[in-house]
Structure 1
Amino acid sequence: MTWVNVGCISAGRLALSPIFWTSYREEAGNLRKGFHMRRRLLVLGGAIFLAIGGTIGYGILNSSGQVCAAQAKASFSEDVMPIFVGRCFSCHQPGGQGNEKSGLDLSTYEGVMRGTKMGKMVIPGDPEGSNLMWLLDWRGAPETHMPLGKKKLSICDRDAIRAWIREGAKNN
């Protein structure tokens, strides 16, 4: 094949110079690369969008829907004791099954601070180190989940107890 200058007509066709043909092929290759790059970016953007949307959706679907009120100071008598009365007293009061088995009496401040036959349940100032929170957060084996055989305490209830312990577990 013989190449002629651009703009020359040969047998009714536009003949292309070797220089023009090479630059045309490079340009076409660049267009294909650009198309593939845009497609990859679009797929990557879609994947990121789905990941973020899925994470947000999962958080919405699995949230308890509870909004806990912020409190200035946690009070044993006003915040913690009502939780114990409503969810723990049936077993952890004198004569109750939980009291007989573990020795934990949640009917008084002194009983809470005394702990169980095995040791203390509350370490003032350290909710994560306190065995009470370990049991209420269901961090152990299923047979240690409290309240035993019942629904887990709400996040708000556990956070109220956690705040009380963090603030020194005072008898207030």
Structure 2
Amino acid sequence: MNKHLSRFAVGLPLILVALSGCKHSGEVSFARDVQPILKKHCVECHLTNGQGHAASGFLVESYDSVMKGTRFGPVVVPGDALSSSLYRLVAGEVDPSIRMPHRKDPLPSAELVVIERWINQGAKNN
């Protein structure tokens, strides 16, 4: 086998592995990445008849309802996760009594990163 071709054949699997790990290095999608997290952790309380909706007015039914926020105002500041109460509540950067999801295990760090990146990328409806 040609020595250049041999180097390519050895290096190709490493390149493919590196590229496969980059699927979330681009733009985060609300529909593909964020909404499933909200459904998994938030929908139980933040539906129309849920306790979280009754307390705050916050719904996670759709992109529009998430962006509408609570009866107290928006929970997402596009481009600024640290100023977004949605991120701060799920990241535990608030008093433990109001951390979300309330009285449940915190979100895994990988899911927090997805929400943070989505907000920092502009919180688009994509």
TM-score band, normalised by shorter chain: 0.7 to 0.9
Aligned-partner SS, 1:128: helix
User: Does residue 1:94 correspond to 2:45, yes or no?
Assistant: no
| Partner in structure 1 of residue 122 of structure 2 | 168
**C-alpha separation between the residues in 1 aligned to 2:80 and 2:31?**
20
Superposed displacement of residue 95, structure 1: 0.9
- Structure 1 consecutive aligned stretches of length 4 or more whose deviation exceeds 6 Å: none
**C-alpha separation between the residues in 1 aligned to 2:103 and 2:26?**
33
> Against the structure 1 CA distance between its residues 68 and 87, is the aligned structure 2 distance closer, same or farther, given a 3 Å change threshold?
farther
**C-alpha separation between the residues in 2 aligned to 1:170 and 1:69?**
18
Correspondence for 1:103 among 32, 54, 57: 57
| Partner in structure 2 of residue 158 of structure 1 | 112
Superposed displacement of residue 141, structure 1: 1.4
Superposed, which structure 2 residues align to 1:7-86 within 5 Å?
70-86=24-40
Gaps of 5+ in 2: 1-20
| Partner in structure 2 of residue 139 of structure 1 | 93
Aligned-partner SS, 1:134: helix
Larger Rg: 1
Aligned-partner SS, 1:169: coil
Aligned AA (1:132): L
State TM-score, norm by structure 2.
Answer: 0.80
Superposed displacement of residue 119, structure 1: 1.1
Contact 1:68 / 1:156 at 8 angstroms: preserved in 2? Answer: no
